[in-house]
Amino acid sequence: MNKAFVKENDGDDEDELAPALRLPAGSKNYMTRRGYDALRAELDQLVRIERPKLVETVAWAAGNGDRSENGDYIYGKKRLREIDRRIRFLIKRIESAEVVDPERQQGLEQVFFGATVSFCDLETGDEQTWQIVGVDEADASQGRISWISPLARAVLKARAGDVVRFQSPAGMREIEVTEVQYR
């Protein structure tokens, strides 16, 4: 069959995501202002700068004749589909976003979305600090974990001094919450 009549991917972009980036069914897409602004900046970059440049390149390549052997044209069209898929994904995430300001949380002694939580692993004695953020802004190297991660779910509603048990990928762990901050 001719490629012109075959759809490459008409599925939901959410299905292609890694499990850590999928939102639980029926849940809101909570994110901090910083995370929301980062998604908006990426969308703006793609729509205003990258996509128009690429469209220009593809148009130039199309004018060069035989498209079936034109690397610039073939790569450009493929990259254009990738950018369009990312733009659709970002628009969906931004539209479903519920921005939460951690500093305006009620009950600041408990762990809720946006909290920066310090805890001690009771088995190893290791001290760690993590901020609980949205799925799209989680970055372990920056000390930010998603609110749907096992650790974040375990410490939700905990207070300083509480001991929490949870199932981690490495097995059952027990931690003591030492400090809760909102910044």
Which pLDDT score is estimated for 6? Answer: 45
Q: How confident is the model at residue 61 (pLDDT cuts 50, 70, 90)?
A: confident
Please report how many Cα atoms fall inside a 13 Å half-sphere around the Cα of residue 89, on the Cβ side: 20
Distance from the first to the final alpha carbon of the chain: 57
* Domain 28-99 part of CATH 1.10.510.10: no
102-182: CATH architecture? Roll (3.10)
Q: Give the model's confidence band at 102: pLDDT under 50 very low, under 70 low, under 90 confident, else very high.
A: confident
CATH 3.10.50.30 placement within the chain = 102-182
Give yes or no for a contact between 91 and 143, defined as CB atoms under 8 angstroms apart.
no
Give the SS3 label for residue 30: strand
**pLDDT tens sequence across 108-126:** 889 999 999 999 999 888 9
pLDDT at 107 over 90: no
- For residue 52, report the phi and psi dihedrals to the nearest 5 degrees: -60, -40
Residues 65-77: pLDDT tens digits?
778 778 888 899 9
pTM of the predicted model as reported, rounded to 2 decimal places? 0.78
Domain with CATH 1.10.287.180 in the chain: 28-99
